[in-house]
Amino acid sequence: MSTRQSSDADDPVIESREQLIAPMAGGEKPESAWRIGTEHEKLVYKKEDRRAPSYDEPCGIRDLLMNLTEFGWEPVEEGGKVIAMKGEDGTVSLEPAGQLELSGAPLENLHQTCAETGRHLAQVKEIGERCGVGYLGLGMWPDKTREELPIMPKGRYEIMMRHMPRVGSLGLDMMLRTCTIQVNLDYSSEADMVKKFRVGLALQPLATALFANSPFTEGKPNGYLSYRSHIWSDTDPHRTGMLPFVFEDGFGYDRWAEYMLDVPMYFVFRDGKYIDAAGLSFRDFLDGKLSVLPGERPTASDWWDHLSTAFPEVRLKSFLEMRGADGGPWSRICALPALWVGLLYDQGALDAAWDLVKDWSMEERERLRNEVPRLALATKSPDGGTLQDLGKEVLKIAHQGLASRARLNASGDNETGYLETLDEIVSTGKVPAQRLLDAYYGEWGEDVTRVYKYSF
């Protein structure tokens, strides 16, 4: 979610339907202006004892953030606490239990994306060496209970943590114990958005399978390959899932606005503070009937904030977010945007991907979503094969899409090389979590702490 620093005195009150649709419609860009925004989270631990550092301790999360000033980053504060750093490469922020996230800048090509990721990892590793801190590229803490994890000082997190147990049993695990990789992509028109949304949503289970990397909970195998993905199935049904209406006739900006109006609120930001509005109705807010702010009506910024509080497998704001992947190491951070850019940023590839999925029923899409956390690429696909088979077809399309884009680096290479790690996964049928499990039952001697050798 976005980081608010202040309330805008000139923030217009929402008075029309057009204002609700404006963020999505305003995201339209010509193809020449399409960009790639990559977000990736990592688990932070103290090397001496593998515990998660607190915010305030020496060389804790605050100090990690502030040490980024030597690389040109500038602090962002909330209530006198540093909660993020802003710079040319985007924003480095802290997730609820101190997971460190880079929300990268909007970039033109994947070569720039991987260079940005490399710079970020080099910076935090240099700081980590001085502070005795390491970073894990996994989808979930492999050995920590909720109680062992610190809570970061962000007002919205306090509100969300109170609300999560009211609506699902695993929401606190989502907040405290998971990490993801996401990519944000543009569209040229409402019709282009719709097609990309549908392809992205239908194929999101495949991305979950390819990046499955969370097979351990509290030191033991948990029976899943992507437990992070399973967690979302019992977090909050009002703001998660596969969104059947996206595939219905007439879907577009207006229908998305209707969905978001039905998503319960979390908060309202006023005078530098977050007001708890968890479970309340944005429709009531539009009518001036929000119980925590009686008589007030929402502003454009309130609506922007609310748009960031839904967590389906694909999310629309002023761009599309692909949200299905577990966290992972550098090569897979580069591979996720490569997959989606290859499929969605070339018209021929987009058309071919849509042809693969357009006849799937909603029941089949839901089945994929439900089975993939356990089975990954062994999940049966709607065409009768497996997701491994489908993955080979999809990656062929992605390769063609990236080759067609012809974005070259200084050596004359196009972007297809960033798919190599995924090519290897579909070739073998063995996802990252399965390799971790092989090691756990083999060379690790069922000692999950050996996973820390996979630090960034």
| Average pLDDT estimate for 140-165 | 97
- In the predicted structure, residue 10 carries a pLDDT above the cut 60: yes
242 CB contacts (<8 Å, ≥6 apart)?
Answer: 201, 204, 312, 313, 362, 365, 366, 369
Residue 421: inside a domain = yes
Confidence of residue 453 (pLDDT cuts 50, 70, 90): confident
The domain total for the chain is 1
Q: What is the pLDDT of residues 303-333, one digit of tens each?
A: 999 999 999 999 999 999 999 999 999 889 9
Residue 152 lies in a domain: yes
- pLDDT tens for each residue of 244-274: 999 999 999 999 999 999 999 999 999 999 9
Residue 260: predicted pLDDT: 98
Q: Alpha-carbon distance 133 to 136, whole Å?
A: 10
* 302 within domain boundaries: yes
Region 142-157: what's the mean pLDDT? 97
CA 100, CA 156: separation in Å to the nearest integer?
17
Q: Is the pLDDT of residue 1 over 60?
A: no
The CATH number covering residue 415 comes to 3.30.590.20
Residue 3 lies in a domain: no
Q: What is the mean pLDDT of the chain?
A: 96
Is the entire prediction scored with pTM above 0.95?
yes
Tens of pLDDT along 391-447? 999 999 999 999 999 999 999 999 999 999 999 999 999 999 999 999 999 999 999
CB 158 within 8 A of CB 60: no
Residue 292 in this model has a pLDDT that exceeds 50: yes
Query: What pLDDT does 8 receive?
Result: 61
Residue 305 lies in a domain: yes
In a domain, 11, yes or no: no
Q: Which residues span the domain enclosing 285?
A: 17-454
Distance CA 326, CA 431 (A): 11
> Does residue 6 have a pLDDT over 90?
no
Residue 2 has pLDDT above 70, yes or no: no
Q: Give 64-115 pLDDT, tens digit per residue.
A: 999 999 999 999 999 999 999 999 999 999 999 999 999 999 999 999 999 9
Please report how many Cα atoms fall inside a 13 Å half-sphere around the Cα of residue 426, on the Cβ side: 20
Burial class (CB in 10 A: 0-12, 13-18, 19+), 59: middle
User: What's the pLDDT band for 4 if we cut at 50, 70, 90?
Assistant: low
